[in-house]
Structure 1
Amino acid sequence: MSNEDKTKPSLDTAKNLFGNLTSAALNLKETKPKVFYGAVGGVALLVLIAVFSGGESRPAVQQYNKQALAVGQTYSLKSPNSYDPNSTIRIVPAPGTLAAYDDTEEADRTGTCQHFPQGTKVKVLRLQDAFDTANSFAEVSIEGGECNGKTGWVLSIDLQ
């Protein structure tokens, strides 16, 4: 038996199945039009959801690898949580007080030696553990600029 002979029965079966489904759908359309059009609408809705629900080309969330910091070493300030290269990083007087500051006042945002641009060189003076995480905060000294020697605390993830 050749391949053509083997595919002939399956082709006939497929044609019969398609014919049966078509006649059943037309019969349903004539006898119960609400059910028929509801099913057509449901299938169309599923197709629309499938078409519009995927394929977005959003960048994957970048995971930050926390590096081991060493006291006495010089690092650059860099916020891994910001895509804006012009964003600043705040230096605070005590570890863990970042959330206590309200930057709604203009003086809080423009005051000297509070916010530093990314890339500012700092030297780590000491490290502080918090929330069961080793070295969560770092006390740093600003290296260069008008705030040279000013000390304060930053999140350790802001040092690279």
Structure 2
Amino acid sequence: MAEATQTWSERLAELGIALPAVAAPVAAYVPAVRSGNHVYTSGQLPFVDGKLALTGKLGAGVSDEDAKAAARTCALNALAAIDALVGIDNVVRVVKVVGFVASAEGFTGQPGVINGASEFLGEVLGDAGIHARSAVGVAELPLGSPVEVELIVEVR
């Protein structure tokens, strides 16, 4: 857990995590917007170096562990969007995580998949990463992604 005097940038460096470039929007929206003391990210897909890291559905070929790792990547991409807008060190806390999981009929493990994002935020932000959350199963996600994650964070 991060020390009280440590910045989020320092914590990321300590963990050996570099924020990626912000993923380019795939439609008519921006990666994040600020309203008052909150930043809302658009849904982030598991892009790595501009390419979707994984495609498919849970319960139909995509493993829970691979999707959990993809949810972590989505959260990392959301932090990058926040950093580009207001600077990561201005984050006070994560307020809410919404995760979507492309699910085949009968798949009910959405919460475990989205734990990939939640656990990552806790690893990086400690108590400030504790949040409210929704984990929703959907029929399809953009570009065939198995997961999509959006964040609401409080900022200074």
Please indicate, yes or no, whether the TM-score normalized by the shorter chain is above 0.5: no
Short-chain TM bin: under 0.3
Q: Which has the higher strand share?
A: 2
User: If the length of structure 2 is used for normalisation, what is the TM-score?
Assistant: 0.23
Radius of gyration: which is bigger? 1
